[in-house]
Amino acid sequence: MPIGEFGGAPPLVAEGSPALTTPMYWMYEMAHASLNPARAITDATKILFQNPLNPLTHTELGKSVAAACELFERTTRRYGKPEWGIVDTEVSGIRTPVEIRSVWEKPFCRLLYFDRRMTRPLRNPQPRILIVAPMSGHYATLLRGTVEAFLPTHEVYITDWADARMVPLAEGRFDLDDYIDYLIEMLHALGGNMHVVAVCQPSVPVLAAVSVMEANRDPFVPLSMTLMGGPIDTRCNPTAVNKLAEQRGIDWFRSHVITKVPFPHPGMMRDVYPGFLQLNGFISMNLDRHMDAHKALFRNLVKGDGDLVDKHRDFYDEYLAVMDLTAEYYLQTVETVFIRHALPKGEMTHRGRPVDPSKVTRVALMTVEGENDDISGLGQTEATHRLCSSIPAHRRVHYMQPGVGHYGVFNGSRFRSEIVPRISDFMISAASSKSLLAAAAE
- Flag whether 233 is in a domain: yes
How far is 235 from 243, CA to CA, in rounded Å? 9
Confidence (pLDDT) at 279: 82
Q: How many domains does the chain have?
A: 1
- Flag whether 15 is in a domain: no
Confidence (pLDDT) at 15: 43
- Flag whether 69 is in a domain: no
Confidence (pLDDT) at 122: 82
Domain CATH for 210: 3.40.50.1820
- Flag whether 344 is in a domain: yes
Please provide the average confidence, as pLDDT, over all residues in the chain: 89
Mean pLDDT on 311-323: 90
Confidence (pLDDT) at 17: 46
Confidence (pLDDT) at 375: 86
Check whether 227 has a pLDDT greater than 60. Answer: yes
CA nearest 131: which of 417, 430, 428, 411?
411
pTM > 0.75: yes
Confidence (pLDDT) at 44: 94
Mean pLDDT on 199-227: 97
Mean pLDDT on 130-149: 94
Confidence (pLDDT) at 337: 94
- pLDDT bin (cut points 50, 70, 90) of residue 22 is low
Confidence (pLDDT) at 12: 52
- Flag whether 48 is in a domain: no
Check whether 101 has a pLDDT greater than 80. Answer: yes
Residues 269-294 have pLDDT tens digits of 999 999 888 888 778 777 888 899 99
Confidence (pLDDT) at 277: 85
- pLDDT bin (cut points 50, 70, 90) of residue 359 is very high
Check whether 381 has a pLDDT greater than 60. Answer: yes
Confidence (pLDDT) at 264: 87
- Flag whether 351 is in a domain: yes
Check whether 3 has a pLDDT greater than 50. Answer: no
Residues 25-73 have pLDDT tens digits of 888 888 888 899 999 999 999 999 999 999 999 899 999 999 999 999 9
- pLDDT bin (cut points 50, 70, 90) of residue 435 is low
* Domain span holding position 239: 89-249+326-441
- Flag whether 262 is in a domain: no
- End-to-end alpha-carbon separation of the chain, Å? 51
Mean pLDDT on 352-362: 96
- Flag whether 32 is in a domain: no
